Amino acid sequence: MMKTTIRTYSPTLSAACVALTSFASTGYGAGHFTSGLQSQYPEYDLNDTYVFESNKEGHTSIISSSNPSAPGTGKAPAVVFGQGGQYNLHIAQDDKFETGMTLVFTFEGENVEVHKVDTPNAAVGEQGEQLGGGKIGETVNLADGIQVWTGRGDDPFFGNGVGLAKFNAAKQQGKFTPDVFKEDGDLFDGATASFIVVDVPNQMLGEKVSVFTTTSVEHKGEWSQVDRHANVLFPYVFLSDTPAVQEDHGQHRPDLDVEERRQAIVNNIFWAVSTSKTKPDSAMEYANEVADMIMPDVLTYTPGTRASYAVEGLNGRALHDDAMNTVLRLMNGVSIDDNAYDVKRYTAEFPYIVSAE
């Protein structure tokens, strides 16, 4: 899979956010920092991904958020979705990313169009056949029983982003400081984002799916991938100690993760548990176990089952899952409370998102 090589340098979360004032100007969402094409095309900056059992029987819900409001301020961007580019939901039915589909969303004014490519790892810029379209902010019923909603809404994610910045900065100095999370709380209170919500019949998905999202734009005469997302806070937590890999992750694809990314993940987890001193006799074994759980960087889900993003097992991700606590424990080998809690900024029925318009 071709990767874009167009990038500009941006500080890592840890370096950029040690001074808390930088949070007001750093693009910070549940997904990652912004760098390279994300900073040039902020409307295509991916923020979060959820996969869980729909409230509609026999369906699975997938939510992708992007274009987050300014961190800690709730100030919304000027546009809801980018015009002319693509927002892609990749749904694989096999470990090699050969079987499945990609749903492609494009926006023009107040309208959304949905296309489908019959491969889960569709090439950057590929669009496929049109399934239908409709208005942003309205539920759209498509062919094959697929249901879609797009629009601006309250961000359901909860997490202590300021505490994470402090924690990562200390870890890079060889210090384990879980108490820093007590000093701050939920950074995402009042935050908004742009959402794509999809209900897909389980009969289209098979026994197990691996989901990730990407965005792409035409840049300097060719299609380029802007961003990528699946596991929560993946670059912030699991790649925070390898800035070069962290910066490149948004232009990468999961079919190459194990080959090109796994060792960096193992090394970073080993460093984290060595710093926390939680696995004195099994640090490398533990690092490999966790790497196998989160690599490749996709959300794996068994349709028709209860989603749970937890240390005991990663099966999709529900809106109520305390995902930051989960990845902090996986990374550091011990339970860490980030001091941010679910206040249910979402609903129980499709499209789940509380409209911000």
The string of pLDDT tens digits covering residues 185-239 is 999 999 999 999 999 999 999 999 999 999 999 999 999 999 999 999 998 899 8
Give me the chain's average pLDDT, please: 89
Residue 12's pLDDT is 32
Residue 15's pLDDT is 31
- Does position 5 have pLDDT exceeding 70, yes or no? no
Residue 236's pLDDT is 87
The string of pLDDT tens digits covering residues 72-121 is 677 888 899 999 999 999 999 999 999 999 999 999 999 999 999 999 99
Asked if 41 and 226 touch (Cβ cutoff 8 Å), the reply is yes
Cα 197 to Cα 221: distance, rounded to the nearest angstrom: 30
Residue 221's pLDDT is 92
The string of pLDDT tens digits covering residues 155-191 is 999 999 999 999 999 999 999 999 999 999 999 999 9
Asked if 248 and 7 touch (Cβ cutoff 8 Å), the reply is yes
Residue type, 220: K
Provide the 10 A C-beta neighbour count for residue 58: 13
Provide the 10 A C-beta neighbour count for residue 56: 14
- Name the band, by pLDDT with cuts 50, 70 and 90, for residue 35: low
Mean pLDDT computed over 132-140: 97
HEC per residue, the chain: CCCCCCCCCCCCHHHHHCCHHHHHCCCCCCCCCCCCHHHHCHHHCEEEEEEEECCCCCEEEEEEEECCCCCCCCCCCCCCCCCCCEEEEEEECCCCCCCEEEEEEEEECCEEEEEEECCCCCCCCCCCEEEEEEECCCEEECHHHCEEEEEEEECCCCCCHHHHHHHHHHHCCCCCCHHHHHHCCCCCCCCEEEEEEEEEEHHHCCCCEEEEEEEEEEECCEEEEEEEECCCCHHHHHCCCCHHHHHHHHHCCHHHHHHHHHHHHHHHHHHHHHHHCCCCCCHHHHHHHHHHHHCCCCEEECCCCCCEEECCEEECECCCCCHHHHHHHHHHCCCCCCCCCCCCCECCCCCCECECC
- Name the band, by pLDDT with cuts 50, 70 and 90, for residue 30: low
Residue 2's pLDDT is 34
Strand-strand pairing, 147-154 and 222-229: unpaired
Q: Model's pTM, two decimal places?
A: 0.90
Mean pLDDT computed over 17-29: 37
Asked if 46 and 215 touch (Cβ cutoff 8 Å), the reply is yes
Q: How far is CA 136 from the centre of its chain?
A: 22
Mean pLDDT computed over 11-20: 33
Taking CB atoms within 8 Å and a gap of at least 24, the contacts of 74-77 are: 74/190, 74/191, 74/192, 76/152, 76/192, 76/356, 77/42, 77/43
- Does position 131 have pLDDT exceeding 90, yes or no? yes
For 57, residues 6+ apart whose C-beta sits below 8 A from its C-beta are none
Say which residue the tokens 């209900």 belong to.
199
The string of pLDDT tens digits covering residues 256-270 is 999 999 999 999 999
- Name the band, by pLDDT with cuts 50, 70 and 90, for residue 9: very low
Residue 314's pLDDT is 97
Greater model confidence, 30 or 4 = 30
